[in-house]
Structure 1
Amino acid sequence: MILILVWVAVLIAVLVLYFQQIYSRFSRYGVKHITPVPLFGNMARLIFRLEHFTDNMGNLYRSFPEEKFVGRFEFLNEMVMIRDVELIKRIGVKDFEHFLDHRSLFSSSDTFFNRNLFSLKGQEWKDMRSTLSPAFTSSKMRLMVPFMVEVGDQMMISLRQKIKNSKSGYIDLECKDLTTRYANDVIASCAFGLKVDSHNDVDNEFYAMGKVSSTFTFRQMLMFFLIANAPKLAKALKLDVLSEAAKQFFRKLVLETMSDRETRNIVRPDMIHLLMESKKGKLTHEDIKSNDEAAGFATVEEYAVGKKKNTREWADKDLVAQAFLFLIAGFETVSSSMSFLLYELAVNPDVQERLVQEIREHDAKNGGLFDFNSIQNMTYLDMVVSEVLRLWPPAIASDRVCNRDYNLGKPNETAEKDFILRKGAAIMIPTFAIHRDPEFFPEPEKFNPDRFSEENKHKINVLAYMPFGLGPRNCIGSRFALCELKVMVYQLLRHMEVSPCVKTCIPAKLATDNFNFRLQGGHWLRFRLRK
């Protein structure tokens, strides 16, 4: 018995010394951090669903307001959160070559889901970015607006019918479901060349597979963190966040569509066509000059990496991977932005009415017709969308992996040592927290589109506004996302009034039961026809 107690004491002592060693590096360099919980690091409250990821990030960001960067532990792995926007710019733009890659989110390197633009690393990422970049210019987005309008018309027919069938003259809807179905149908049309009506054919296979692939449950969230922090273990256990059925469905869909178009010489100006053209090397930035002046405040620029001519030949599985990435981005992130946009319009009726007035003026001016130009040139619409993306950015945070030792400098003015970020270590850019920092945005919790008016937008520190990321690795689809958001809200507000209902979550509070961007209790709003 005594021997067992001795061994237990030794084991405890070894574990204590081990955890002290693991969790002490930040302290040795004067890098502030919240005291980690052994094994869990700073993840305990997140893992046990006591707070949302935004709160987890925000608490760390706000705890040390004088620091340029702070420490964070994901289980046993150290990560540095960058707070200083000038340092963020240096990392994301000037010293970009030191931080080319994201962390791995998929455990198997041979799956084509690890071959998409988000997951590719190093030179392969550069080559894929330059291959795809010409497909996302404003000139290409212009051709996709009619597909978006067609999907919006389907949504409006469905909403009208539901209101007609109601005896009250209005309906209460879970908006995340509404916007997800809209975004799903837009992606089906614009990316895959399919005509899908998820508002009426509610259980269609494309929607079902998209939902399974992009809804990140608590189990999947844990898997993400495990893959990112223990990739060898994840690979040994053959962990993957995607089902085999979903993989096979999208592989078959893309390859058969491409084959059919090749055989029948079908040309449709959607993403499948652009991927086929990019594979042949026929897309260049010089073919049609893009005019992004009216694309919107939130639009990100393409850097030289994306504009470089690329001659690499891609395999079919690589193109399938890009198509799948379009699906995930459209299905989840864009639909979330749409649902928060409708929420803010509902709880801020003055903003909604001002936007409706602008829509009516454009309708009168253009005889009820609208296209890419009319959408992009609506000033107040862009202000509203820009503010939604500030308050509810589609990417809560972004990460980068350091590919060579990098000197971050001193964490604060009193620190004695520079902190060297070691090769393989990760940094995090806390977008959500920065967007809600009163230093950059006065009254940050207030929804105020006038921040982005002609009179005020020059006051914004552009380094602190990054809804689509920054630097060469910013979101390639920002123009597509902005266009889709604007088309959707234009079509809906022309005919519908959106207001809170009994189930509306006021004030807004994020649910902690999954990794997706959700309001507690859902995004419930009331819809009625405008008079």
Structure 2
Amino acid sequence: MLPTDTLFLLAALVGLFYVWCRYTYGYWQRHKIPYIQPIPIIGNTKVMFTLSKSFFLYLSDVYDDDKMSNAAAVGIYIFNKPAIVLREPELIKSVLIKDFQKFSNRAAACDPHGDALGSNNLFFIRNPQWKELRTKISPVFTTGKIKHMYSLMTEIGLELETNLKTYAKSDDSFVTDVKEVSALFTTDLIATIAFGIKANSLANPNGEFRKQGRKFLEFTLRRAIDFSIAFFFSNWVSKLRIKLFTPEFSTFMRGTISHVMAEREKSKATRSDLIDVLVNIKKEAVENGEYNAEMQDVLTAQAAVFLTAGFEASSSTMTFTLYELSKRPDLQKRLRNEIYEALVAENGKLSYETISNLPYLGMVVDEVLRLYPVLPILDRQHLHKDGESPFDLKPYYDYTVPKDMSVYIPLFAIQRDPKYWPNPNTFDPERFSPENKNTHPPMAYMPFGNGPRNCIGSRIGLLQSKLGLVHILKDHYVATCAKTPEEITFDPFSFVLSYKDGIYLRFVNDKLYERSANK
């Protein structure tokens, strides 16, 4: 039997723990905000331990909870830290647009000391550095620059066609993992339009560019922990030495970008690409006496995020598009006919204007991005500066959001909310027909985010996806096979929407345009 003093101490500790839990996890109840019932110590992060799904998608479950159907905002606890999940469109609009200055930073962060490329890129960098950097990078994404890149992109499209021919073991069809094919294509695209480099991933799938990209998005348990800490426990990133860009990837990017920039400076050639912009930023910094190793890391960081985000977002969009079309031959036929007619009208080579404005292709891609937004959430941090009025949830709740609180917007759930999208889980491109597109409620569709901190590369990303789809579907139709999943199961380790395994489809050779041209 334990001594009396020990029993008393244990009882006191249990009592203190009980009081602490009651107070800590009574925060949202005290402020009269609807909340999800937490578990002591871990709050609402149970899925992080059970690995039943990613925490990013768990936030969509919070949005969809039947008890919260009338809530404008929902309180949660990340361990013992309160955070908010927004449901009301007007509050979402305020955070992303109206009150952007109070939410100009993401809640996520990287270690500025151990992961310079992670903390200094346009996705993670904090304001006001973010605003200055975005202004300098923006010229890469003008219509004129994108049109200039288009000829380079079509060269990779032709290489994709050549590559697909090598897969066929007969003249009729072959089965392959569409995500890997799409990723090889988008990796080569980003390498050429952003860096002026021939990565040759399609010809050599184990080349350095593809190998590094594959490793970055290889979602092991360790990587899942790193990403979770970066996105949900940003105060811990420096203490725990969390790195989103691994030392190997960082070394690869530093060496590659330094070499490409040196060659560009030496040749004085211009390609209207990202390297041109980085060279100009460096030149300006040198002239102002501001250039140093840290500045070079800032430049390299933009290339790193351009590569990883650029190939992943577009390849995922291509993959999910082909998957949905494989299950709907009628819709695939309509899209292939549109592509065929455009090719006939332009003698087999689509212009930038034509591919950007193919009506049904646009509808299909828009619907895929509704069902499968690459990032399933948007995250923001409340910045309350002295002298400014803090953000509140009025008229919905009499609550003022405290400084540094994380705010989450579950895109995946919003874009599948039956209140805005009838039969929300059904693939239906007609939702984005010209007559229907204008009827969408504000803030119900934003796969690239919204407001000043939306995705800067969305137009290039869309163009990449459309180009890849055209070069695949012009010569093939895709069909399901024995290895095709009936339903999509998302990887619980991934911070982007990613299927757990490869998505295999049957490619059936059907060269409509060539057949027509030979008649």
TM over 0.5: yes
Q: How does 1:433-512 map to 2 (within 5 A)?
A: 433-512=413-492
Asked whether the 8 Å contact 1:346–1:352 carries over to 2, the reply is: yes
Structure 1 alignment gaps of length 5 or more: 283-310
Aligned-partner residue type, residue 139 of structure 1: G
- Matched position secondary structure for 2:507: strand
Match of 1:327 among 307, 322, 329: 307
Q: How does 1:293-372 map to 2 (within 5 A)?
A: 315-372=295-352
Aligned-partner residue type, residue 234 of structure 1: V
- Give, in whole Å, the separation in 2 of the partners of 1:47 and 1:338: 32
Change (3 A) 1:362 1:230: closer
Range that drifts further, 399-408 or 315-324: 399-408
Name the counterpart of 1:224.
227
Match of 2:31 among 26, 29, 32: 29
Match of 2:80 among 70, 76, 79: 76
Shift of 1:232: 4.7
- Give, in whole Å, the separation in 1 of the partners of 2:18 and 2:149: 59
Name the counterpart of 1:137.
142
- Give, in whole Å, the separation in 2 of the partners of 1:172 and 1:118: 36
Range that drifts further, 490-499 or 503-512: 503-512
Name the counterpart of 1:209.
212
Aligned-partner residue type, residue 32 of structure 1: P
Asked whether the 8 Å contact 2:73–2:87 carries over to 1, the reply is: yes
Work out whether 1:149 is the aligned partner of 2:133.
no
Q: How does 1:112-127 map to 2 (within 5 A)?
A: 112-127=117-132
Aligned-partner residue type, residue 30 of structure 1: K
Aligned-partner residue type, residue 437 of structure 1: D
Asked whether the 8 Å contact 2:188–2:202 carries over to 1, the reply is: no
Change (3 A) 1:187 1:47: farther
Shift of 1:420: 1.1
Shift of 1:60: 0.7
Change (3 A) 1:19 1:229: farther
- Give, in whole Å, the separation in 2 of the partners of 1:341 and 1:121: 34
Work out whether 1:394 is the aligned partner of 2:377.
no
- Matched position secondary structure for 1:272: helix
Range that drifts further, 110-119 or 128-137: 110-119
- Give, in whole Å, the separation in 2 of the partners of 1:246 and 1:220: 14
Asked whether the 8 Å contact 1:142–1:372 carries over to 2, the reply is: yes
Asked whether the 8 Å contact 2:57–2:376 carries over to 1, the reply is: no
Name the counterpart of 1:243.
246
Aligned-partner residue type, residue 142 of structure 1: K
- Give, in whole Å, the separation in 2 of the partners of 1:80 and 1:106: 21
Shift of 1:483: 0.6
Asked whether the 8 Å contact 1:510–1:520 carries over to 2, the reply is: yes
**1:340-372 deviation per Cα after TM superposition (whole angstroms, max 9, x unaligned):** 111111111111110101101101110001121
Q: How does 1:416-431 map to 2 (within 5 A)?
A: 418-431=398-411
Name the counterpart of 2:255.
252
Change (3 A) 1:514 1:194: same
CA RMSD across the alignment: 2.2
Shift of 1:237: 3.1
**1:469-498 deviation per Cα after TM superposition (whole angstroms, max 9, x unaligned):** 011111100111011011110111000111
Asked whether the 8 Å contact 1:107–1:239 carries over to 2, the reply is: yes
Range that drifts further, 237-246 or 479-488: 237-246
Asked whether the 8 Å contact 1:50–1:512 carries over to 2, the reply is: yes
TM-score of the superposition, structure 1-length normalised? 0.89
Identical residues among aligned pairs (%) = 32
- Matched position secondary structure for 2:438: helix
- Matched position secondary structure for 1:406: coil
**1:1-53 deviation per Cα after TM superposition (whole angstroms, max 9, x unaligned):** 23444333333332232222222111111211211122221111233211244
Change (3 A) 1:498 1:53: farther
Asked whether the 8 Å contact 2:146–2:460 carries over to 1, the reply is: yes
Asked whether the 8 Å contact 1:108–1:238 carries over to 2, the reply is: no
Shift of 1:277: 3.5
- Matched position secondary structure for 2:110: coil
**1:153-175 deviation per Cα after TM superposition (whole angstroms, max 9, x unaligned):** 22221211211xx2583222111
Name the counterpart of 1:292.
none
Aligned-partner residue type, residue 25 of structure 1: Y
- Give, in whole Å, the separation in 1 of the partners of 2:243 and 2:14: 34
Asked whether the 8 Å contact 1:112–1:317 carries over to 2, the reply is: yes
Shift of 1:118: 1.2
- Matched position secondary structure for 2:320: helix
- Give, in whole Å, the separation in 1 of the partners of 2:30 and 2:306: 43
Structure 2 alignment gaps of length 5 or more: 512-519
Aligned-partner residue type, residue 71 of structure 1: G
- Give, in whole Å, the separation in 2 of the partners of 1:72 and 1:11: 26
Change (3 A) 1:411 1:53: farther
- Give, in whole Å, the separation in 2 of the partners of 1:115 and 1:514: 22
Name the counterpart of 1:16.
18
- Give, in whole Å, the separation in 1 of the partners of 2:490 and 2:289: 43
- Give, in whole Å, the separation in 2 of the partners of 1:231 and 1:384: 37
- Give, in whole Å, the separation in 1 of the partners of 2:85 and 2:342: 44
- Matched position secondary structure for 1:459: coil
Match of 2:110 among 101, 106, 110: 106
Change (3 A) 1:367 1:230: closer
- Matched position secondary structure for 2:373: coil
Asked whether the 8 Å contact 1:30–1:411 carries over to 2, the reply is: no
- Give, in whole Å, the separation in 1 of the partners of 2:419 and 2:143: 33
TM-score of the superposition, structure 2-length normalised? 0.91
Change (3 A) 1:174 1:434: same
- Matched position secondary structure for 2:482: coil
Work out whether 1:65 is the aligned partner of 2:69.
yes
- Give, in whole Å, the separation in 1 of the partners of 2:54 and 2:227: 15
Aligned length: 497
Change (3 A) 1:454 1:434: same
